[in-house]
Amino acid sequence: MAGRIASLDFDQLEQDGFAVLRGLVLPHELAGFEHDIALVGDKLAEQRGIERRSAEAIADVLVAAGRHRSMLFDHVKKLFSLARLSVEIGTELEQAGLFRRGGVAVPIVWPTLRADLPGEGSYELPLHQDYATTRCRTAWRLWIPLRGVDRHHGTMEVVPRSHDRGPYPYSQGDSGGPLIDRRELTARGLSAQSLELPAGDGVIFNPWLVHGSVPNRSQRTKWVLLLHVQDLAAFVNPDAPTDPVRPFLEMTERGHAASLPGGAKQ
C-alpha cells in the first residue's frame, strides 16, 4: 500500500462534515491518468476523423459523440487505472479506521467520474445534499480532483457544518430542478466555501453536507474521481416512515420527475 492517508481528521469530519486528504493520488498515478486520457482521445479522434476544436482530443471526441456520449463516457469511467486507485483508496480508508469508527459492518465502495468540459455547464450541480446516491444510513463521499481546482478551473463549494440538520427544503431553480436556496443557508448562519486544491488532494464528506458545482471557466476539462462509501448493513428501509434516509428517496423521485440534478449522469 502506498500510505497515501497519513491521517484522517475524524473530529473535523464530524464537526464540519468534510475533511481534506492531502496527496491521495500520487504523482505517477496522475501522470498515468493524463497519459490514458490523452491517448484514448488522440486514437478515437484519429479513427473517427474528428476535427480538433480544443486543446484536448478527448473533449472533442466526447462532444462529437453526440447521443452516444453516455455510452462512451460510461466506458471512460471504467479506466483500469481509476478502478485500481479506487480499491486502494477504499483499502486505505479502512486502514485509517473509517469503517471501525463509523461502525460499518458490510462496506460497499464504488467509483464514478465527472468531466466538466470547457464551456459546458450541462453537468453542473446546484447546491444539494447527495439524495440521489445515498441509500445507507452510514455513508461518505470522496471528491478527488485529478487536475488542480479553483474558481477559474471549476471546483466544488461546500457548506461547512450543514450536514447535521437533516434534509433541507428545496426550491425550484431556473432550470426547473430542485436546489437549496442560499437564503436558506444564510438564515441558518451558514455559508458556502469553494475548495482550492492541487490535483490528487481529496475531500471526504458526509453526503448530508450541502455542496455544489463551481463552473469551469478555463480552457481545460475538470476531471474528478468520485467515490461512494456506504454500509450495506445500514440500507434504507423504504417502508419505515422514520428511516432517516427516506427523505432522500422522496427527493430522488421528485428529481427524476423533473429530470433534475442530484445525481447528474453523463
Contact positions vs ligand AKG (CB under 6 A): 114, 124-125, 130, 143, 156, 211-213, 224, 226
The CA–CA distances, whole Å, from 134 to 144, 179, 258 equal: 18, 17, 19
Q: How far is the CB of 162 from ligand AKG (least distance, A)?
A: 13
Nearer to ligand AKG, 45 or 225 (CB): 225
Nearer to ligand AKG, 5 or 214 (CB): 214
Nearer to ligand AKG, 44 or 221 (CB): 221
Nearer to ligand AKG, 16 or 130 (CB): 130
The CA–CA distances, whole Å, from 89 to 52, 93, 186 equal: 35, 6, 35
Residues 202 and 25: beta-carbon distance below 8 Å: yes
Q: How far is the CB of 49 from ligand AKG (least distance, A)?
A: 32
Nearer to ligand AKG, 23 or 215 (CB): 215
Q: How far is the CB of 266 from ligand AKG (least distance, A)?
A: 12
Q: Residue 70 and residue 66: Cα distance in Å, rounded?
A: 9
Q: How far is the CB of 186 from ligand AKG (least distance, A)?
A: 20
Q: How far is the CB of 224 from ligand AKG (least distance, A)?
A: 5
Closest CA to 9 of 97, 70, 82, 83: 97
Place of cell 468534510: 18
Q: Residue 201 and residue 224: Cα distance in Å, rounded?
A: 11
Place of cell 471526441: 61
Q: Residue 58 and residue 39: Cα distance in Å, rounded?
A: 9
Q: How far is the CB of 213 from ligand AKG (least distance, A)?
A: 3
Task: Please give the distance of CA 65 from its chain centroid, rounded to a whole number.
Answer: 23
Q: Residue 182 and residue 188: Cα distance in Å, rounded?
A: 10
> Residue of minimal CB distance from ligand AKG?
213
Collect all residues with Cβ–Cβ distance below 8 Å to 190 and sequence separation of at least 6: 159, 160, 161, 162, 210
Nearer to ligand AKG, 118 or 212 (CB): 212
